[in-house]
């Protein structure tokens, strides 16, 4: 998912951060679309539990760089080493485990609310509740709605993606608890099951939207 084109440029950043720039070829194919505005620098920060949120971020990175922008991808713990003022747009993505986002997500947002508010921005949540179509909208997903009520930051773009059920990857007790939750919500309980519920066309559509976010 990482652009391996030799023309790609890598920026120096902390070792926990991946920075990619769109290739000359990508920029050429999008010149007509972006002729009137320069390339934007986007920071994509993620918090992941079992790795699936990072996979979603890697797809977002690919789609956004194809739109002619420069994207820096960082886990949330590494993002504390980054000067957020370097970026035109900031996107945060976070997974849910047992109904909550990681505390680091709350802390990062709380510590950086002024700069997040001042820039074009977006937030997305990844959770298994969103495997059900009726819970796959920001205004119908209970975990995302609760999260937005708990923070002072008001993201300009908000999205929720269905996550991945991966029983073999879970630790023993996590596997048992998640099986119980799935049984209660009429989901798969076979401990050998792996199901990717993510709608990847939805991920692409979100990437196109955030590529167009502009400052007020």
Q: What is the pLDDT of residue 215?
A: 55
Using CA atoms, how far apart are residues 134 and 139, in angstroms rounded to an integer?
10
The whole-chain average pLDDT of the chain stands at 84
Q: Left if phi > 0, otherwise alpha if psi is -120 to 50, otherwise beta: which for 68?
A: left
Q: What is the pLDDT of residue 102?
A: 94
Q: What share of the chain has pLDDT > 70, as a percent?
A: 81
The pLDDT tens digits for 205-214 are 999 999 887 6
Helix segments in the chain, DSSP class H: 24-29, 31-34, 52-66, 76-79, 103-118, 142-150, 172-184, 200-211
β-sheet bridge partners, residue 161: 126
Q: What is the pLDDT of residue 67?
A: 87
What is the H or E stretch that residue 186 is in? none
Q: Domains in the chain, please, with CATH?
A: 18-163+200-211 (3.40.50.360), 167-197 (no CATH)
Residues in contact with 29: Cβ distance below 8 Å, sequence separation at least 6, in sequence order: 66
- Assess contact for 30 and 66: CB atoms under 8 A: yes
The pLDDT tens digits for 165-184 are 999 999 999 999 999 999 99
**What's the whole-model pTM score?**
0.81
């Amino acid at each position: 998912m990482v652009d391996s084109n030799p023309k790609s440029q890598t920026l120096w950043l902390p070792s926990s951060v991946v920075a990619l720039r769109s290739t000359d070829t990508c920029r050429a194919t999008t010149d007509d679309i972006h002729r009137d505005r320069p390339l934007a620098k986007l920071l994509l920060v993620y918090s992941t539990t079992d790795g699936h949120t990072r996979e979603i971020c890697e797809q977002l990175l690919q789609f956004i760089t194809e739109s002619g922008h420069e994207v820096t991808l960082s886990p949330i713990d590494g993002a504390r080493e980054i000067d957020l003022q370097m970026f035109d747009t900031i996107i945060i993505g976070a997974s849910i485990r047992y109904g909550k986002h990681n505390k680091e997500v709350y802390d990062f947002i709380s510590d950086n609310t002024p700069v997040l508010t001042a820039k074009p921005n977006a937030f997305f949540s990844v959770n298994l509740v969103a495997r059900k179509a009726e819970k796959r909208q920001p205004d119908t997903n209970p975990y995302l709605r609760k999260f937005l009520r708990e923070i002072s930051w008001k993201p300009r773009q908000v999205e929720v993606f269905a996550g991945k059920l991966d029983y073999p990857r879970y630790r023993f007790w996590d596997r048992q608890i998640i099986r119980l939750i799935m049984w209660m919500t009429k989901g798969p309980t076979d401990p050998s099951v792996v199901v990717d519920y993510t709608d990847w066309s939805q991920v692409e559509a979100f990437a196109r939207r955030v590529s167009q976010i502009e400052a007020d």
